[in-house]
Structure 1
Amino acid sequence: MAAMTTPVCDFGWHGPDFDLPGVDGRRHSLASARGPNGLLVMFICNHCPYVKAVIDRIIRDARELEPHGIGSIAIMSNDPSDYPEDSWPNMERVARELAFPFPYVMDETQAVAKAYGAVCTPDFFGFNARLELQYRGRLDPSGRGPAAPDAARELFDAMLQVARTGEGPRVQTPSIGCSIKWKDS
């Protein structure tokens, strides 16, 4: 497990569209996932200890952002041949057991992760209503540890700001997580 950190936010960058299968049996794109005030695109997986440590908070934040017009989608781009816990059946199981309030989709070719420049799980991309990137930071300061009761909800607060103003905070702390597990070329 190599710990990686994300690059800084490239404000105004437009994320490429995608058409990926979801564990709900439907196909999902930027248009189908976005809310009227923005979209949170998350690169996650099932096996990563960083994701496992924060998944309940990711779910909470996605649920609480929805009434503010922020849609969410989670993309799994890891190569499951080396990481069976990230397989399609396990994606279905995790999404069902945790009652994901967002589509959980597979990027089997890894083309979407490459197009976005995703480097780790979790990796967060927060877009405004015009689908311009406004947040590329961490969920909160906890990393792999439990969150302190008074921990700042950096991602949530940033996306609330995006929903209200269309712009994200200018100061952002990069996310940290396990590297994306790329297929052998």
Structure 2
Amino acid sequence: MAVSPPVCDFGAPWHDFTLPGTDGRRHSLSDVKGRRATLVMFICNHCPYVRSIIDRIVRDTRQMQAAGIGVVAISANDVADYPQDGPEQMKAEADRHGFSFPYLYDETQAVARAYGAECTPDFFGYNADGRLQYRGRFDASARMAGPTDTRRELLEAMLQIAETGKGPEIQTPSMGCSIKWKAA
């Protein structure tokens, strides 16, 4: 079942974290934040919504990083029920696609809860002051990738945030698989 997160809560602060990455190191927000803006995205390996755009995510995040935007991906799914989203499989996925950004594992799911992440993919775009300016979709793709000339909404928004400190007023929420929460 597809889940859509709420619209952007403009100005909400980012949340600090320190999580293990697929590179064997621990990464904190201060390690990954960009000088002009920061993108925190919640993804996972198995979600068809993420799989349909992962190559586009890799392409566009390289352009963001070149523009001074920090990028990090976090997987928070319950690996007891979804073992394909575990750390070893995350490393293989990062290697397979050539991630230029850290891919972190949120085993306790505390970081995903702090951010209010609801689905994969879920994108949080912050300005240089750590204030939320984008909580929208990557582009018009869904379970299948949209046409190659689909408007690159996330890239456009993040470049705007890097340039002006403000995100677009009109944003279309992301859509994807629900975060696979651990049983209480």
TM-score where L is the length of structure 2:
0.98
Percent identity between matched residues is 59
- What's the counterpart of residue 80 of structure 1? 79
* 3-state secondary structure, aligned to 2:133: strand
One-letter amino acid of the counterpart of residue 40, structure 1? L
One-letter amino acid of the counterpart of residue 110, structure 1? Q
Q: Does 1:167 align with 2:162?
A: no
Distance 2:27 2:67 in 1: 21
1:67: Cα distance to partner?
A: 1.2
One-letter amino acid of the counterpart of residue 32, structure 2? A
Q: Residue by residue, what CA displacement relative to the aligned partner does 1:84-105 show, whole Å, maximum 9, x if unpaired?
A: 1101110111111111010000
- In structure 2, stretches of 5+ residues that fail to align are none
- What's the counterpart of residue 94 of structure 1? 93
Structural mapping, 1:103-122, within 5 Å? 103-122=102-121
Alignment RMSD: 0.7
One-letter amino acid of the counterpart of residue 28, structure 2? S
- What's the counterpart of residue 12 of structure 2? 13
* 3-state secondary structure, aligned to 1:85: helix
- What's the counterpart of residue 34 of structure 2? 35
Paired residues, what number? 184
Distance 2:85 2:149 in 1: 32
* 3-state secondary structure, aligned to 1:28: strand
TM-score where L is the length of structure 1:
0.98
Distance 1:129 1:184 in 2: 36
Distance 2:167 2:176 in 1: 22
1:6: Cα distance to partner?
A: 1.1
1:147: Cα distance to partner?
A: 2.2
Segments ≥4 residues shifted beyond 6 Å: none
Q: Residue by residue, what CA displacement relative to the aligned partner does 1:108-135 show, whole Å, maximum 9, x if unpaired?
A: 0000010110000000000010110000
Is residue 48–residue 144 contact of structure 2 (8 Å, CA) maintained in 1? no
- In structure 1, stretches of 5+ residues that fail to align are none
